[in-house]
Chains A and B, each alone.
Chain A
């Protein structure tokens, strides 16, 4: 089981190394979305500082959503998803490997980019650790949840908008606790409660999402 998990993880990481666009594009998207906000609301430093946590989190949501569309697409098109479904290994473990690989490719870089955008949006330096911690837990959860939607819509020709419709409402708790943890630090309040909630959400989605993803992948072939 562990061997199959590693096999999927290694294969997907190797594929990502050979195809740069898959992981570079969501990153660029993230930066562009964030730079749109000052252009939209004006360069007022104080205003930007106030809405920065929300901007960064909404941009992360959208970047994760955008990236998750490709999660199962290539495997579906070339038939290797079928082979994963037909493997005698537990499908939920295999999809967990796929989601982890996908997060390492598209979620983790966001984390490293976040201090940069925090500075650009005038956040205080002491908020950056909280921002990164919340993004770590939050984007993992988002990737797991988005994968459910990606699995449900992978067989559909026009899955993109539908995926957003299915998944964005489910992102709301992560958005709330993610941005509130940064706001807490900005306001000088303790951040533990917010991060604990994000951790709880992550554990819950880690336990349940692989089952839902596996179930969804079985039905799309019917």
Chain B
């Protein structure tokens, strides 16, 4: 187990592994997204309360889930980086941050689009949307802090500490925003967590969620690979690869 961990931690081995599995994941991701979108947008029945506009959940809900998931990945990798000084963990965290921010932005944008037909405004201070907005701020802060350091190793560690501080705060922020929301508008309806969802709507949603996760993995792997090449540019294995490919 530990040997496996160490072998994976080697940037060279991870590069090879990612190189092999990325195309497979990409194909699977494309299939899931295509089928999920078709079943969600065409096959699934119209909602009797919300009409056709509910179909935006097939993008909104997976991106909202991913926005949290990616932050957890970053926090997890940051902890590994700070404790074991494992460079791969730092690269994965660095590669994930802009994607997490993009998912968060997508969740916000789709939530706001959905709000127009449902609430009649482009922006409603709904607890979930507000939490997403704060999450976006956390992502931006994380990336800005990392970018501000001239010494990239110190920047990586600073960002890792911030990610851990953030992950402690996320549940607190989430519940305090919910409390704030019920305090100020007790009658507000949160439409996104429909208690019971029909199975014909649920299956495409889960397919989309899995598709989004694979989309993240494919992109994260390719970003990680290019960052590995950048950091290892002067080592012999990268040079040999470059020669093999006539670069």
Contacts and interface: CB of A to CB of B under 8 A. Distances in A.
Interface of A: 148, 152-153, 155-156, 158-159, 162, 165-166, 168-170, 172-173, 176-177, 180, 183, 197, 201, 204, 208, 212, 215-216, 219-220, 222
Interface stretch (B18-26, B86-94, B171-179, B202-210): B171-179
Contacts of B229: none
Contacts of B68: none
Nearest to B169: A170
Given A180-B180, A222-B154, A169 B161 contact: no
Contacts of B173: 169-170, 172-173
Given A169-B138, A219-B158, A212 B148 contact: no
Given A215-B161, A222-B154, A158 B148 contact: yes
Contacts of B138: 169
A216 B177 contact: no
Contact of A162 (B148, B172, B180): B148
A152 B161 contact: yes
A222 B153 CA distance: 8
Nearest to B142: A166
Contacts of A222: 151, 153-154, 157
A121 to B, nearest CB: 19
B168 A208 contact: yes
A54 to B, nearest CB: 11
Contacts of A156: 148-149
B28 interface: no
Contacts, number: 79
Given A172-B176, A176-B176, A165 B141 contact: yes
B154 A219 contact: yes
Interface residues of B, number: 29
15 contacts: A148-B161, A152-B145, A155-B149, A156-B148, A162-B141, A162-B148, A168-B137, A170-B166, A170-B173, A172-B134, A172-B173, A176-B177, A219-B157, A219-B161, A222-B151
Contact of A172 (B82, B158, B177): B177
A104 B166 CA distance: 26
B140 interface: yes
B165 interface: yes
Contacts of B44: none
Contacts of A168: 137
Nearest to B133: A169
A176 B180 CA distance: 6
Nearest to B138: A169
A77 B164 CA distance: 27
B140 A165 contact: yes
Interface in B36-63: none
B1 interface: no
